[in-house]
Structure 1
Amino acid sequence: MSRHQRRRQTLLRPRRLAAPPLRFVMPLSLLACLLALIVLRGLATNEVFHDSRVAESVDQTTVPDQVLKGGPVVDARGEKNDDPVSYRIPDRTVVLSFDDGPSEEWTPEILKILAAHNVRADFFVTGSMTARNPDMIRKIVAEGHEIGLHSFTHPDLAFQSHARLSWEMAQTQLALAGAAGVHSTLFRPPYSSYAGALDDWSYPVVKYLGARGYITAFIDHDTDDWKLPGVDAIVKEAMPATPGAGELILLHDAGGDRSQTVAALGILIEKLQADGYRFATISEALGATSATTPVHGFQLWAGKGYIWTTQLAVHTLPVLIALLAVVGFLNFGRFALMLVLAPVHARRAKRTDLWGEPVTEPVTVLVPAYNERECIANTLNSLAASDYPIEVIVIDDGSSDGTADIVEEMALPFVRLIRKVNGGKSSALNVGIAAASHDIVVMMDGDTVFEPSTVRELVQPFADPGIGAVSGNAKVGNRDSLIGAWQHIEYVLGHNLDRRMYDMLGIIPTIPGAVGAFRKEALDAVGGMSDDTLAEDTDITMAVLCEGWRIVYAERARAWTEAPASIQQLWSQRYRWSYGSMQAMWKHRRAVTARGPAGRFGRFGLPIVVLFGVVAPLLAPLVDIFLMYGVLFADAGLTLVSFGGFLSIQAVLSWYAFRLDREKPWHLISLPLQQVVYRQLMYIVLLQSTITAFTGGRLRWQKLRRTGEVAAPVEA
């Protein structure tokens, strides 16, 4: 076979779709399950698919006379579908029927009265109420009453498609099977009354369901008890117009205040019994077998599963709403703190005498590098332009791409190169700390470039002897792509504005690896960098805080870093960040009960960091889940307006953050899309990190592929 033929076969061979990575499947499955639970609860409360339209009466041209002039029970099953049969309730017989239940409040009261008078009745139940109150269904069946279907969501079925009709009945049967192990062939349409009121809107429903095995029961008397006309009026309206005539009477056991119905029921039964009437179910009155029949096998267990899941959803929703309130409180609390404290920090940063006499002593800049051949030259060239006296130590951590060779070829006189066997970033930094000649150590990444003034601005706070570390201002250099613009917004709003707030509270939890400085004394006090976590920058920052050192944010110490350029790289980086941050918080958990400076951070700073950095983002997907639910199943207009208000607050806060950082706001044009796409991606990353943490998983170091496109910027 020739090469051309092999290639042609390869092109023609259908490609197999790759399965989605497990890291997407688990978090997305969790979110999908939460949304499904909320939808199930919405079904049980008649919020999902609710249709409040009611059809007006039209001409009766297609309704057979025997139906219009016959009894309240219409049988259009099988061969009778085109020639339905109508049945009347026999003389001296009364059927009591109750619609819209079962109700947890009123159905038990009605059952007590019926049991006291040894009366059996028909209960036309909705599927939504059945799913919410399965115990009541079991009680109704156990006491010998007959069950009929009243649809699932109680819409006017005249407006519904055949598919919706089938769904309404199937879901109600499923709920009945799960609640009491029964199905029913008896049906009453919502908003129906007498058979004589059937018209060209409602009669097709009777025929369609009759063809599917349902008998339709209308009424002889509507007591209008739902209007609350008074006990005497209900009793009077229920009494037969013709003495001795059989009656099918409509009452309600749900849908509102049914106290008058309960009070009238006992009086009505006693009056009818005194007049010589007997009480029966519809099937008993017509001499037929009961419409309520048991189910077994798959139908039974499918119904039980549905009821169990619905009950879980009903009881879970209050918890989810409470968690949603927590999310709202934390987010708006964070926004409020930012708006209050960030301006104070900005005004403080403008003072020239804030820290005391200017710091002029030389410092050591550490550059840990692992396979940074694309970036290392830009990094060192930016340091060469520094306006502050520095020594630079590049620690090559076993690079295999010639990074160290590039450093040697540049032959910069202020740069020392240390080669070592690969041991990770923490190990490389510890080697650099040990080799540092000066008391202040600046740390940066091998893919980062400094402005000429960055080191000078970064070390000025060390004029205060109580300051042990300083965080710089990390900027996204490759911000012209969509992913880069999203990260640029995140850095300015989510990182730098946070640092202003944390600075004023005295609890900055992370000095970014791209730009930070430490006193060597503080590093020695905590034992140097640790490889206990994947977020060595967060780990060392918390350790320094626990030793009682102050940490501040120098906004003018700008560093430009190359952000991940693809979703895959972004995922890897943020997964490591979030997982490592959780490791660091867990590592320093004993600070909560410690004394001294560690205790102050543990009891004040650590809880705030956990709430704002883990709890709020972890629960934030609830906002989007309820947003989807609101748009799809509830009030879409109100939901979208509320979400628009949230986006407006985000936009105002983002604009303010950009203004404080002296950034051009035109990148904010991608903010709405960032909120819809990027934010959800970060949620999934955090969920995956949490799942990994709880399952005891270990995460290896993930090296990102760099392009070297971020060069030394002109002084801003």
Structure 2
Amino acid sequence: MADRAEAWRSRRRRLGPGIHRPIDLGFPRSQAFESAARHPEPATCALPLRRRLRRRRRNRTRRCRTERRRALPRDRSQHRTGGRRVVSHVPEVVRLTIDDGPADPYTAQMLDVLKRYNAKATFFLIGQNAERYPNLVRRIWNEGHEIGNHSFTHPNVGTISERQARLELTATQRVFQSLLHRSTVLFRPPYNADAEPTSLEEVRPIQLASDMHYITVLEFLDPQDWNTQVVENGIVRRRTAEEMLQTVLMQIKTEHGSSILLHDGGGDRSETVKLIPMLITELRKEGYSFVTVSQLLGKTRDDVNPPVKNTDRLMLASDRMVFEAIYVFELFLSIAFISAIVLGTLRVIFVTVLAIISRVKARRAHFDEGYRPTVSVVIAAFNEEKVVSRTIRAVLANRYETLDIIVVDDGSTDGTSAEVLRDFAGHPKIRLLRQENGGKASALNRGIAEATGEIIIALDADTIFARHTIANLVRHFANANVGAVAGNVKVGNRINPLTYWQSIEYITSQNLDRSAYTVINSVNVVPGAVGAWRRTAIVQAGGYTTDTMAEDMDLTWRIRRNGWRIETDNDAVGYTEVPDSFAALFRQRFRWAFGTLQSLWKHRRALGRYGWFGKVMLPSLWLFQVLFQVLSPLIDLQILWTLSNVIGTWLARGGRSGDWQPLPQALASLYVIGFMYAFFFVVELIGSAVAFKLDREDGRVLMWLFWQRFLYRQLMYAVLLKSLRTAIIGMRAGWGKLDRKGTVDVVVEPEPVTSS
């Protein structure tokens, strides 16, 4: 008796308090866990050794009394049902149980197979997956299968707190109730589905489920289809469905179980999809029938998946709204992410191909070198004291013969006019006009009205022309059908990361787009920094208007709609000063973005008309400049969402409770997102490299492209969102003035010009 008692104590120390090996009452397919009364431990004596020795000294005649028991004490026991009994007149039965779903595409593929072979299964679903794929949950039920609870996030229920475990089961139950108006009494614990639990960690989920009135469904037949790789002689290879089949066939002959454990989620389950028809075919040949858990228990499907009471349906409506909102949010993120990647890739391919065609055509173009029309350069200036003189010198340095320059001071409060007079007073080619502040469009219209040239160059006061820019712009007007020509704007103050990022944008987006759309006569804008207009085309279009903040874009589109052709010349270079602080950049880009929205809305009736302009260019602006820009932040949001899931799994599940099994699935999602993002970045990098090559720029600047995506573009997202908001509530537009610093650094400094 002493030996047996000591063995019992040893076993209790090993398994933990209150743990008893399950009573072997047949195959444990469905286990209800119940508590029994605790009994004192058996002992060889009723008193400890020290007290016995003390009492012997006091009463040497007293002897130790031995306690006897008729049976060993019992802390807990398991009652198991559903075993396969070998009876000659009763056919053998097995049941398919499928865990971890629903998952795309494997659950749907398995359902197709089960439907084809007229077999039913019990699906133990993870709550968050059921929430993500509600249609698959409904299909499982509608095709006659049973549904069980596999927790909400697939934690190790034996290692988490009881409160968290109850929340896991309850949340999953609520998902089923809201989707199907059905509950479930079936439960299978993640990680611990073995029918013979031998540790506290394995028994705790069973006891908890019993307390919550669940029937815990465990298994003996496990092909371990989740383990998709094997190592043979140091070589890793994939496990096949045939190998998994042989494992099941061997187990079913040596074990007494009837439940086959398979998985439709948590990884690549393509071999499991192949395994199911092989299992059904082979086991049916051997006389096995496939049943569900309820049939094995002698119950009906309505017993294990009972309908929700009518009194509870109002509460389920609120649950349904919450789950649907989460589902829609995740679905929207996924769709938006994929859409943004697709749109971005298509844009790069479309624009790059057209830009290459444009460059080939430009190299083959021939111009009349004797064509020299009169040119008037109109410079609208508002508080441009620091830059206006240098801009005028750069224009004069082009040495275009028939040229006059008109500077319109639009109510400047600094020394703009004084600077012009100090440097160019009495110059025969330069005139200074002053007016009260009326905005950029007003100043340009005033200058055009005073101009005498056949060709008008409307120039921003901060732009420095390169040599021959005017001649390169003007030569295109030898074609009588050309109404405007866009030049090549480059960033002239590359002094910090922000200005380098803008230089990349100018080359890879703005200039490349103009070159591309030239091929289909749909240039999106003749920029104010460097562009030329035929005077008659401006007059016909009605000049600059004040109803948009993008007056250059609006005039470009009106001239195009009047039937004029608009060209681009990449050799007509102008160096502009861009904002060197985030605050200044935000203000400038807001003006551009809001002006683009105003122009798109103003010319909305041109959609589908005016050839390629209305059929391609305008829709592409809506698609790429508005929709794509709105979706682009969701690319970053999807990455952050996936990263948060990985970090949460790493820290909360792995680091805190040692539950590392969900980590591979979380990492798999991150790999997919990362691959798609990397693919888009590579496509974008290739397009950018082509743009730099066409623009004859130093490709080393592209080292800033990667960092541009993680800071600079987020600012552009904010700009667009503010523009959309402003477009809805409305506002009045002004100059949107950028504080100039005169930091443009050009390759060739214009020669000084003396007054005459």
> Structure 1 length as normaliser, TM-score?
0.71
Give the alignment partner of residue 569 of structure 1, picking from 584, 592, 613: 584
Quick one: which of 301, 309, 320 aligns to 1:304?
320
Distance 2:135 2:683 in 1: 46
Q: How does 1:314-393 map to 2 (within 5 A)?
A: 316=332, 320=336, 323-324=339-340, 326-328=342-344, 330-338=346-354, 340-345=356-361, 347-348=363-364, 354-389=366-401, 390-393=403-406
Report SS of the residue matched to 1:202.
Answer: helix
Matched, 1:69 2:27: no
Q: CA deviation at 1:173?
A: 3.9
Aligned residue identity for 2:388: I
Residues 86-125 of structure 1 aligned to structure 2 (within 5 Å): 86-89=78-81, 99-100=98-99, 124-125=124-125
What amino acid is the match of 2:703? I
Contact 2:94 2:289 survives alignment (8 Å): no
Once the 2 structures are TM-superposed, how far is the Cα of residue 135 of structure 1 from its aligned partner? 8.0
Number of equivalences: 627
Q: Partner of 2:546: helix, strand, or coil?
A: coil
One-letter amino acid matched to 2:740: T
Query: Does the aligned pair in 2 maintain the 1:579–1:690 contact within 8 Å?
Result: yes
Secondary structure in 2 aligned to 1:494? helix
SS state at 1:68 partner:
coil
Report the secondary structure of 1:66's partner residue: coil
Q: Give the match for residue 743 of structure 2.
A: 710
Would you say 1:280 and 2:317 are equivalent positions? no
Do the aligned partners of residues 193 and 358 (structure 1) sit closer, same or farther apart at CA in structure 2, a change above 3 Å counting? same
Q: Tell whether the 8 Å contact from 1:366 to 1:394 is kept in structure 2 after alignment.
A: yes
Q: Over aligned residue pairs, what C-alpha RMSD do you find?
A: 5.1
Q: Is the 8 A contact 1:107 1:253 kept in 2?
A: no
Report the secondary structure of 2:605's partner residue. helix
For 1:280 and 1:609, the matched residues in 2 are separated by 62
Partner of 2:748: helix, strand, or coil? coil
How far, CA to CA, are the matches of 1:397 and 1:292 in structure 2? 74
Q: Deviation at 1:327?
A: 0.8
1:181–1:296: 8 Å Cα contact kept in structure 2? no
1:59-458 matched pairs, under 5 angstroms: 61-62=15-16, 66-69=20-23, 72=28, 73=31, 75=33, 83-89=75-81, 99-100=98-99, 124-128=124-128, 130-131=130-131, 148-152=148-152, 154=154, 168-169=168-169, 171-179=171-179, 187-190=187-190, 192-199=192-199, 202-203=202-203, 209=208, 217-219=216-218, 279-280=298-299, 300=316, 303-312=319-328, 316=332, 320=336, 323-324=339-340, 326-328=342-344, 330-338=346-354, 340-345=356-361, 347-348=363-364, 354-389=366-401, 390-412=403-425, 413=427, 414-458=429-473
Equivalent position amino acid for 2:733 in 1:
R
Q: Distance in 1 between matches of 2:359 and 2:554?
A: 28
Q: Is the 8 A contact 2:482 2:567 kept in 1?
A: yes
| Counterparts in 2 of 1:126 and 1:343: CA distance versus 1, 3 Å | same
Q: What is the one-letter code of the residue matched to 1:533?
A: T
Contact persistence 1:511–1:538 (CA under 8 A)? yes
Q: Which amino acid aligns with 2:413?
A: S
Matched to 1:131, the amino acid is E
Distance 1:701 1:520, change over 3 A: same
Q: Contact 2:462–2:740 at 8 Å: present in 1 too?
A: no
Report the Cα distance in structure 2 between the residues aligned to 1:584 and 1:440, rounded to whole angstroms.
25
Shift in alpha-carbon separation, 1:340–1:626, aligned structure 2, 3 A: farther
Q: Which residue of 2 aligns with 1:675?
A: 709
User: What is the SS of the residue equivalent to 2:441?
Assistant: helix
- Indicate conservation of the 8 Å contact 1:251/1:261, yes or no: no
Change in 2 beyond 3 A, CA 1:222/1:334:
same
Q: What is the distance in 2 between the residues matched to 1:392 and 1:664? A: 33
Relative to structure 1, is the Cα distance of residues 79 and 456 closer, same or farther in structure 2, using a 3 angstrom cutoff? farther
CA 1:586/1:322 → structure 2, altered by over 3 Å: closer, same or farther? same
Structure 1 residue 646: deviation in Å?
Answer: 3.8
Between the aligned partners of 1:143 and 1:618, the Cα distance in structure 2 is 41
Q: 1:337 to 1:251 in 2, by over 3 A?
A: closer
CA distance in 2, matches of 1:88, 1:660: 76
Check conservation: 2:351, 2:513, Cα contact below 8 A: no
* SS in structure 1 at match of 2:560: helix
Deviation (angstroms), 1:468: 1.6
Larger Rg: 2
Structure 1 stretch displaced more, 93-102 or 410-419? 93-102
Report which stretch shifted further, 295-304 or 676-685.
295-304
Decide whether aligned partners of structure 1 residues 452 and 269 sit closer, same or farther in structure 2, where only a CA change above 3 A counts.
closer
The aligned counterpart of 2:495 is 480
Change (3 A) 1:504 1:141: closer
Residue 485 of structure 1, CA deviation: 0.5
Secondary structure (helix, strand or coil) at the match of 1:662 reads coil
Residue by residue over 1:395-448, the C-alpha shift from the partner in whole angstroms, topping out at 9 and shown as x without a partner, is: 122223343333334343232222222222111111111110211111111222
Per the TM alignment, residue 377 of structure 1 is displaced from its structure 2 partner at its CA by 2.9
- Conserved? CA contact 1:77–1:211, under 8 Å: no
Aligned identity (percent) is: 31
